[in-house]
Amino acid sequence: MDNLGELLHGFSIAVTVPHLVLMVVGVLLGILVGVLPGLGAPNGVSLLLPLTFGMQPVSAIILLSSMYWGALFGGSVTSILFNIPGEPSSVATTFDGYPMARDGRPTTALATAFGSAAFGALVGVILITFLASWVAQVALAFGPAEYFAVYFLAFASFVGMGGAAPIKTVVALAIGFAIAAIGIDTVSGSVRLTMGVDELVKGVSFVVAVMGLFGIGELLVAVEEEFHARAVSSKIDWAEVFRAVGRLPRHGVALLRSAAIGCWMGITPGGPTAASFMSYGIARRFSRRGRYFGTGEVEGIISPETADHAAGTSALLPMLSLGIPGSATAAVMMGGLMIWGLNPGPMLFVDQKDFVWGLIASMYVGNIVAVALVLLTVPVFAALMRIPFVVIAPLIVIICVVGAYSVSNSYLDVVMMLGFGVIGYLFKKLFYPLAPLVLAIVIGDKAEDAFRQSMLMSKGSLGIFFANKLVTCLIVAGIALLLLPLVLQLARLWRKPAVPAADTTAQEKVII
């Protein structure tokens, strides 16, 4: 119970008037950059960083992390209302959040998302509080082979659990891998797939890809279907905010399952993006209303949001204890730590107790502040949906163009964003799933690096993926998920009461 004492000490640091003011300011700024196009948490935090140089490290990190929470919440707003995810990890929220908002229930969608996000974050912080030292150990066990196994599991869960035809999922994944390969390759150091365009050496930014795929792609479909030039009639309804949050406990199983997935992916450095996608895929398979997913299901919002925030929060721990930033924002904060004269690493917990526990306590308080502030603003945001489509459509185009340009001030990105818009449209028309494409763009190159690093280590032997219990479990689970659709299909073909579990093991043996 040492940790509890430390935590109380942390609260005495975090809950002071100046720090509470910093939290409110940080959260508000965060919501602002989260909602504004093309800004996002990493940019916001780096803009604010120079202001913190004169501050106490603990005040500085409270300001920056509060801004991070605010931006995460703000990012969900654009995902749900306009189908434009601000961060890779909020892509999965668009799948059911956007249909629900378009259906005239934006308040419910936003309140559900915020409520479950807060729950996820809370579970993440509690985990950090009690398991700080243990968590650091788990992360250390992850070498390249284990990393690859986690990514493989994320991909496989999409093939096995996704809603689309498995073969189409595989095609979407493959296209995503090709896009992820553009630019300089970490392992060989050579330039790949730039097709003579010098600027492509930097690779394809995730923001550019999703703004086109989701924002523009959706718009093209809507225009074609003469998406009713009517505004969604949404009343400003404060009571609905509380009703939506009040309904959350009914989905207790989904909440707990998603929080568990989120924490697991946050600790094993799979990260929030993989967590939210996996959680969505698994929920779709196990939820009783799984086949309605994608049309505005409550659990389709709860699952990715809870997992995203649980992973995002617990991922701060590897950053502090090991110095591996789990996200771009965490990387900026880590740069800040160095400038404030602190070195992330195992000693931080021993040398800088005030800092670490002040931060952890501020995560409790900061998240409460953030969720209170965003819930209050829900009806205001929801009111945005009442603007007619003819006004909103050009606005979305502007948001996407400005967002794509501001990634690295490059016109090429704008052109590529529009190109992705066309791809997104074609995918929708041909019933190809977008989620695996995005997942592959985001973690495809990491998976590739990890695979090739493992191959270098083992001198080309695949045995490295079965070298210890951890990696074997992950790989076997991945293979099982990958073969699940095949097994189910075979079972259906033979029209006899097949036992999928037994078949899966048989298949695995053949593969291994």
**Site of interaction with other proteins (CB under 8 A):** 42, 46, 49-50, 53, 139-144, 183-191, 198-199, 201-203, 322-325, 328, 331-335, 338-339, 341, 343-348, 351, 408-409, 449, 453, 456-457, 459
Pick 165 or 347: Cβ nearer other proteins = 347
Phi-psi domain of 203 (left: phi exceeds 0; alpha: psi -120 through 50; beta: other): left
**Smallest gap, in angstroms, from Cβ of residue 54 to other proteins?**
9
Least Å distance, CB 331 to other proteins, is 4
Nearer to other proteins, 143 or 163 (CB): 143
Cα-Cα-Cα-Cα dihedral sign, residues 11, 15, 18, 21: positive
Residue 66's closest CA among 3, 19, 126? 19
Please state the closest distance from residue 52 (CB atom) to other proteins, in A.
10
Q: Are 203 and 182 in contact (CB under 8 A)?
A: yes
**Number of helical H runs and strand E runs in the chain:** 23, 2
In whole angstroms, give the CA distance from residue 381 to residue 241: 12
Q: Which residue's CB is nearer to other proteins, number 126 or number 328? A: 328
Q: Which is nearer to other proteins, 12 or 186 (CB)?
A: 186
Taking the complex as a whole, how short is the minimal distance between the CB of residue 140 and other proteins, in angstroms?
4
Tell me the HSE value of 344 on the side-chain side, using a 13 A CA sphere.
Answer: 22
| Dihedral over Cα of 365, 368, 373, 374: its sign | positive
- Find tokens 């207790």 and name the residue: 252
User: CA torsion, points 240, 243, 245, 251, in degrees to nearest 10?
Assistant: -130
Q: What is the nearest approach in angstroms of other proteins to the Cβ of residue 93?
A: 25
When the beta carbons of 71 and 171 are compared against other proteins, the nearer one is: 71
**Rounded least distance, CB 435 to other proteins, Å:** 25
Which long-range contacts link 286-292 to residues 24+ away (Cβ below 8 Å)? 286/257, 287/254
Distance CA 130, CA 433 (A): 39
Supply the minimum distance, in Å, between the C-beta of residue 455 and other proteins: 10
Nearer to other proteins, 103 or 185 (CB): 185
Of 231 and 412, nearer to other proteins (C-beta) is: 412
Backbone angles phi, psi at 275, to 5 degrees: -60, -50
CB of 353 to other proteins, least distance (A): 15
Residues constituting the chain? 512
Which of 140/167 has CB closer to other proteins?
Answer: 140
